[in-house]
Amino acid sequence: MDISRLNRAAECEWHLPATGAMRVPGVIYADEALLRAMDEKVHEQVANVAALPGIVKASFAMPDAHWGYGFPIGSVAAFDPDQNGVVSAGGVGFDISCGVRTLLTGLTVVEVERVKRPLADTLYAGIPAGVGSTGTLRLSPAQMDAMLAGGARWAVSEGYGPPEDLERIEERGAMSGADPRSVSEAAKRRQRDQMGTLGSGNHYLEVQRVTTIYDTAIGAAFGLEVGAVVVSIHCGSRGMGLQIGTDYLREMTIAAKAAGIALPERELACAPIRSPVGERYLGAMRAGMNCALANRQILTHLTREAFRTVLPHARLSLLYDVSHNTCKVEEHVVDGTRRGLFVHRKGATRAFGPGHPDLPQAFSATGQPVLIGGSMGTASYILAGTSRGMSAAFGSACHGAGRSMSRHEALRHWGGRQVVDELAGRGILIRSPSQRGVAEEAPGAYKDVTEVVDAADRADLARKVARLEPMVCVKG
């Protein structure tokens, strides 16, 4: 990216002045090296989002930002319904409520290393993964609607985990305002037998060791210490989220034109929040969020079963579950006034600071756990939300490394077997149904997640707490 068009406000904060159709400025959080490495499309898309009606404060991009559909991946934008604000399917993303869930195992690296290979095989046998993967659960129409309305709470009521899990899930396990009637039959059909599956792409289940603690007090509050083993699950709403996004993008293209909204590009299709299309999308999107929360809850149950087969004394308690493709109604202070805003986060993680009323009591003093997934074979991180981050970007942080090359380009550089063998040489066991999928997700196809996390930390969007490194990865 050409940085001459930006004004540097701080070490890791850059401003794009509002010009032309932009209603607010753009703000990119990144160090200079990350910024220069971003594709030019990020600059263009940040400016385009800033031109949408009702946008408040700024159009934000995180340190892992890269080109996406309409909105850049790694973007945050809030809209005020009282100022003709809009909701955009492209601002949420197609994998609605894709997110990360981290479990504390109560095990040490030494204990897991002794049984790492049979554990990898048992997890792979018990966790459906890959393109079009299906599970053993097949939902009836009534069960489908109950799941879409109830999220992880529905899954717990069906026996997929204890009630105490719900306290450690965003929205306590279920997004209110979900409307199964606004979800198409095509979307429900796609999801009917995909519950409890990882899917493909960058989704994974990973057994990880804690290698570094950066903040001992918060690390202890989170139950983390060097040498401990955790499990992280990264996945979303599978085929349902994709179908919801596809369905409503068509409607939003028509709705935007009917509302007289001049779109900088077609991919920014949107609808006024207070319109029939906007309200129906929000109902469907929230149902998609509940689908993802239920999916991760069922996957947690399957993970617990697999662990206990190999390591019967494993605890597997939930640390936290947070999504990074959402639109939520939240209260934020803007220009000294508290306002209810529709905050779009696309490839950006909610990162609420200490004392926020939506946090579980266990995290009131520390801030929210912010779960940052690495690419296959690289580190992941756990951060904590900060007070400054609440005002900096509506309580948001990065979500991962962010791609640096396309999947097609990755296939030209690596073969799946090559990647598996290289990682095995480093003590990381990969289990996947697709060698092509492994090659597409090679660690070298992503930015350096450590550089991304360091930039988020220096910008005070979130504070580094722990570094995690992979031991076993079940890959879609």
Active-site residue set: 399
Q: Which of 109, 102, 166, 64 is nearest to 428 (CA)?
A: 109
Q: How far is C-alpha 390 from the geometric centre of its chain's CA atoms? A: 18
CA 313 – CA 331 distance, rounded (Å) = 42
Amino acid type, 170: E
CA 86 – CA 274 distance, rounded (Å) = 8
Return the ∠ at Cα 368 (arms to 466 and 93), rounded to 5°: 95
392: buried, middle or exposed (CB in 10 Å: 19+, 13-18, 0-12)? buried
List all residues 6 or more positions away from 74 whose beta carbon is below 8 Å from its beta carbon.
61, 62, 63, 64, 65, 66, 68, 346, 347, 348, 398, 399, 402
Q: Which of 238, 241, 237, 233 is nearest to 127 (CA)?
A: 233
3-state secondary structure at position 272: strand
Q: Helices 276-310 and 116-126 meet at what angle, rounded to 10?
A: 140
CA 287 – CA 151 distance, rounded (Å) = 8
Residue 321 phi, psi dihedral angles, 5° rounding = -135, 120
CA 66 – CA 77 distance, rounded (Å) = 15
CB atoms within 10 A of CB 337: 7
CA 127 – CA 133 distance, rounded (Å) = 10
CA 298 – CA 155 distance, rounded (Å) = 7
CA 179 – CA 23 distance, rounded (Å) = 32
List all residues 6 or more positions away from 139 whose beta carbon is below 8 Å from its beta carbon.
147, 191, 192, 193, 195
